[in-house]
Amino acid sequence: MSTDPIEGSSDWAAWRRAVDLDEYESRWDRIAEQGGNPHGEVDFVMAYAPRTAIDAGCGFGRVAIELTARGVETIGVDLDADLFARAQRRAPEIDWRLEDLATVEIGRTVDLVVVAGNVIGFVEVVDRPEAVRNCARHVAPGGHLVIGNQLKASWPTVEEIDRWSAEAGLVLVDRFGGWDREDFDPNGEYVVTVHGRPN
């Protein structure tokens, strides 16, 4: 397993080459400082009342840190060593795992797995099905897998996300057009899909 951030998918490599990580990280802090809300994903998933969670593709830890602040025991997983180091620096008390979503084994199930930030679209195409299925395997009975991603050419389709989730035993619960629970538009630019594991 390579943890070189530029050795991921071509989309991820292009994003990493184009983005200043200091600017990217501080952008979210500035939103909060200016009175905005940088935690729409956490607001969304708290409606499912998780007590335990995995932030899959956690990056520098924004979602995992906020979930923890709201009393959710959270594990963060990411393959990018640079972003992972930033997460550890921001919240050393959280359980961070530098691992691949397609192969990581946490050793337990949780109430919620949240995959925000277009994570699956940035996974290598051949690994996307197993990344989703493996995230789904970590969902406990009665729990939820929440995936948000842009709808654009070459990225996962709604049908693919549904199929990969179903292959791991989950069923569709909700689908929205964004983290503010907008109505889903099949011709829109974004989707948030919620799958659940039956009790």
For 95, the domain range is: 5-196
Taking only the tens place, the pLDDT of each residue in 91-144 is: 999 999 999 999 999 999 999 999 998 999 999 999 999 999 999 999 999 999
Please give the pLDDT value at position 100.
94
Total-model pTM: 0.89
Low-confidence ranges of the chain (pLDDT < 70): 1-8
Please give the pLDDT value at position 1.
44
As for how many domains the chain has, the answer is: 1
Q: What is the CATH number of the domain that holds 120?
A: 3.40.50.150
Among 31, 72, 81, 36, residue whose Cα is nearest residue 54: 72
DSSP secondary structure code for residue 111 in this structure: E
The span from the CA of 47 to the CA of 68, in Å, is 15
Residue 132: both structure tokens together: 């989703």
End-to-end CA distance of the chain: 35
